[in-house]
Amino acid sequence: MTTEKRLDLEAMMRPDLLELEEYTPVEPLDRLSVRLGIPIEQLVKLDANENPYGASPAALEALKNQQYYHIYPDPSALNLREELGKYTGVSKERIFVGSGSDELLELLIRLFISPGDNILDFAPTFGMYSFLGELYRAQIRSVPRHIKDYSIDVEAALAAVDEHTKLIFICTPNNPTGNSAPESVVRALLDTGKIVVVDEAYHDFAGHSFIKLTDEYENLIVLRTFSKLSGLAGLRVGYGIVPEIIARQLWKIKQPYNVTVAGQEAARASLREGNWIAEHVEKIVAERERLYGLLQEFSDYFEALPSSSNFIFCRLKQGSAKLIKSELEKRGVLVRHYNKPLLENAFRVSVGRPEQTDIFIEHLKQIIYTQ
Ligand SMILES: Cc1ncc(COP(=O)(O)O)c(C=O)c1O
């Protein structure tokens, strides 16, 4: 084929996908470093809620010692699921492992959604629910949260449920706003009898989990990830606590080798390092509270919301969040900026190491007080 345009390739594609708004992932560090002309080690990366301390020494050691990278991984991730069983107190038959919790979200949507069904989420929230829902032609019902504190509007949520509702996504603590959903809200949504997916990507920082309700409700799924506290975002491992009957179907529709050898090994090692985990939760939570305190100094410019996660959401009262983001970026400090309905003129900053917080605050002062 020449490069001359003869076939209308786009006309052959699914028309609804051509319209789909693309998901905006974060820019890879090495590219960013070249674009900004700042060495990677000087970048202060506070834009993706990763663990600023990296992976645990045990996980790094396990990766170094693994001899079998040339062999396909265990498709059932049995060893990891057994250890997750001990860690969560749930039988391994109810544990499903995926390539990040993103893959688990996609598999659940693949399993439950036929075109025309609807899914509920509570906006603003993690963008993958609606992105993946659209990919599978679900109607997305994003029920707006209360604007004051971003709590879920239960009445509106219940009113949005109908016979075509298949999945309800509750992100708690919620990304990007940082607040948690109370148990009464989760129970009210479970009582609809629809499948409720509780996304606990950040539960460690809240010190609270809904796994205990999985014994009581057969329509509850809880998703977790090794990407945040465990510091393994680059290896892509997530897991779900699902009813056995759902797990059986998920096994059928996943790709056989979805979780890599490296991912399975590192995840197992990090589960065994209970002390490291506990120590890092403590450090990150203490630093979140310090950062929250420091951000109050800017209360004339923006409101920093209380957070039960490893990031803080800030909405501006004056000035431009986009400008703050781009000025910080020029100085090598990365935060996430938002400007869409319910997230107007706002940014989210992840909790970093104390020295990273200090650099961020120093630059923020310069930008806000001198622009
Ligand atoms: C709420 C929430 N759920 C899921 C994910 C995806 O996690 P993973 O890296 O396991 O795919 C993220 C990542 O940012 C998230 O914020």
Q: What is the pLDDT of residues 29-48, one digit of tens each?
A: 899 999 999 999 999 999 99
Quote the pLDDT of residue 196. Answer: 98
Strands 44-45 and 333-334, bridge-based pairing? parallel
Cα distance between residue 65 and residue 289, in whole Å: 37
202 CA closest ligand 1 atom index: 1
Separation of CA 259 and ligand 1 centre (Å): 16
Separation of CA 61 and ligand 1 centre (Å): 25
Contacts of 325 (CB under 8 A, 6+ apart): 335, 336, 337, 347
258 lines ligand 1 (CB under 6 A): no
227 lines ligand 1 (CB under 6 A): yes
214 lines ligand 1 (CB under 6 A): no
Cα distance between residue 53 and residue 173, in whole Å: 21
pLDDT confidence bin for 178, thresholds 50/70/90? very high
Q: Which helix (H) or strand (E) holds 354?
A: helix 354-370
* pLDDT(324) > 90: yes
Quote the pLDDT of residue 293. Answer: 98
pLDDT confidence bin for 371, thresholds 50/70/90? low
Quote the pLDDT of residue 277. Answer: 92
311 lines ligand 1 (CB under 6 A): no
199 lines ligand 1 (CB under 6 A): yes
* pLDDT(5) > 80: no
Q: What percent of the chain has pLDDT over 70?
A: 98
Average confidence score pLDDT of the chain: 95
50 lines ligand 1 (CB under 6 A): no
Quote the pLDDT of residue 227. Answer: 97
- Residues making up the chain, counted from first to last: 371
Among 47, 101, 313, which is best to mutate for testing ligand 1, by the most ligand atoms less than 8 A from CB? 101
Quote the pLDDT of residue 166. Answer: 98
Among 51, 175, 237, which is best to mutate for testing ligand 1, by the most ligand atoms less than 8 A from CB? 175
Contact criterion met (CB below 8 Å) for 315 and 305: yes
- What tokens appear for 348 in the block? 């989210």
pLDDT confidence bin for 370, thresholds 50/70/90? confident
Q: What's the farthest any 2 CA atoms get from each other in the chain?
A: 62
Question: For residue 228, what are the CA distances in angstroms to 20, 32, 67, 116, 278?
Answer: 28, 21, 26, 34, 14
* pLDDT(1) > 60: no
Q: What is the pLDDT of residues 55-90, one digit of tens each?
A: 999 999 999 999 999 999 999 999 999 999 999 999
125 CA closest ligand 1 atom index: 1
Residue from 171, 231, 232, 233 nearest 202 by CA: 171
pLDDT confidence bin for 21, thresholds 50/70/90? confident
Contact criterion met (CB below 8 Å) for 353 and 51: no
309 lines ligand 1 (CB under 6 A): no
Separation of CA 102 and ligand 1 centre (Å): 6
Cα distance between residue 180 and residue 247, in whole Å: 27
Burial class (CB in 10 A: 0-12, 13-18, 19+), 120: buried
100 lines ligand 1 (CB under 6 A): yes
Averaged pLDDT, 196-207: 98
Q: What is the DSSP annotation of 291-321?
A: HHHHHGGGTTTEEEPP-SSSEEEEEESSS-H
How many other CB atoms are found less than 10 A from the CB of residue 87?
A: 15
Would you give the DSSP letter of residue 200? -
156 lines ligand 1 (CB under 6 A): no
Domains, the chain, with CATH or none: 10-53+275-370 (3.90.1150.10), 57-273 (3.40.640.10)
102 CA closest ligand 1 atom index: 11
49 CA closest ligand 1 atom index: 14
Quote the pLDDT of residue 301. Answer: 96
225 lines ligand 1 (CB under 6 A): yes
Cα distance between residue 173 and residue 196, in whole Å: 15
